[in-house]
Amino acid sequence: MSNMNEARALWITGPGEAEIRDVIVSDPGVGEVLVRTTYTAISRGTETLVFDGAVPPSEYQRMRAPFQTGDFPAPVKYGYINVGVVEEGNAALVGRSVFCLYPHQTRYVVPETAVHLLPEQLPPQRAVLAANLEAVVNGLWDAAPRAGDRITVVGAGTLGCLAAWLAARFPACEVELVDIDAAKAQPAGALGVTFKSPAEATPAADLVIHASGTGEGLATALRLAGFEATVLELSWYGDRRVTVPLGEAFHSQRLTLKSSQVGAVADAQRARWTPRRRMALVLRLLADARLDALITGESRFQELPTVLATLSAQPGGTLCHRILYTSDSAAA
């Protein structure tokens, strides 16, 4: 058996447990490509919840990743941030860098329609932000900000930073990024976004985007919303229960609390936009070199089980944690 058929993949084997396993990759068939992974990244919200075994049973089917193997809670091969190089398949794609919604695996075969060519101006190492930015693009379509709006983003993780950065590109909008961690002022500044603590944040926002993943953050989001404003919820809580202070200003201010989830194109765009067109937009937007400030950690593929455990135990600090694949990673 050739090395091209051998690969290694990360499997979550139980709550708080993961290991790297050898896997066999088939030869690509008609309409398929073989991809060698160069980078993946860990989705700090969803992926650590999966690692912790915190996916609610009601969501076992709805929360499946496109190329997931196994079933929740475990054992499961899970992930959706993968950048690689096409090694076999369509001659027009061979040698090109691509993004794919694939788990952490050194080589894999997928339909060629599942990979997205990276624009020439996008470095592959930055393309690991694509999945998070796709959720943000969809969220802003759901939120429908207007020119001149005062927009507050609560929660300065990767998702919140990207939301603030993109919202600030809307004409004449004033954007504040709010977080309890003063250290998050550094990535906010690198993105050109105003940073505030919850106590300093400007009240009566026209739109509030919540991305902290905490009940306290959601309470702050509701407090900062202006009359008849929308609070857009980008966080996913898994099986955690969240207390929401609906007895305060929620009714008197006639607020709207709206969910957004990337699995379906936002309804305002759905008639004309496909997920593939949406991803092409995302990859163009990632050409901004300032976004490199959001990649605050990097480890090698072999270290993934330990890295997942560390990130799960320490929810703060690191934004996007990138995983580097080298030639020795591909050896089974």
Query: Which amino acid is it at 72?
Result: F
Low-confidence ranges of the chain (pLDDT < 50): 1, 331-332
Q: Give every CB contact of residue 31 below 8 A, 6+ residues apart in sequence.
A: 111, 112, 113
pLDDT at 329: 61
pLDDT at 3: 62
Give, in order, the Cα–Cα distances in Å from 42 to each of 237, 261, 320. Answer: 17, 18, 7
Please answer whether residues 4 and 88 qualify as being in contact, where contact means their C-beta atoms are separated by less than 8 angstroms.
yes
Q: Say which DSSP state 106 is in.
A: S
pLDDT at 317: 77
pLDDT at 318: 86
pLDDT at 332: 39
pLDDT at 44: 84
Q: What is the pLDDT of residues 296-317, one digit of tens each?
A: 999 999 999 999 999 998 867 7
pLDDT at 125: 98
pLDDT at 1: 39
Tokens of 325: 């694949």
Structural domains of the chain in order of their starting residue, each with its CATH number:
3-121+291-330 (3.90.180.10), 132-259 (3.40.50.720)
Backbone angles phi, psi at 47, to 5 degrees: -70, -35
CA distance 210 to 222: 9
Helix (H) or strand (E) holding 37, with range, is strand 32-42
Tokens of 264: 């379906």
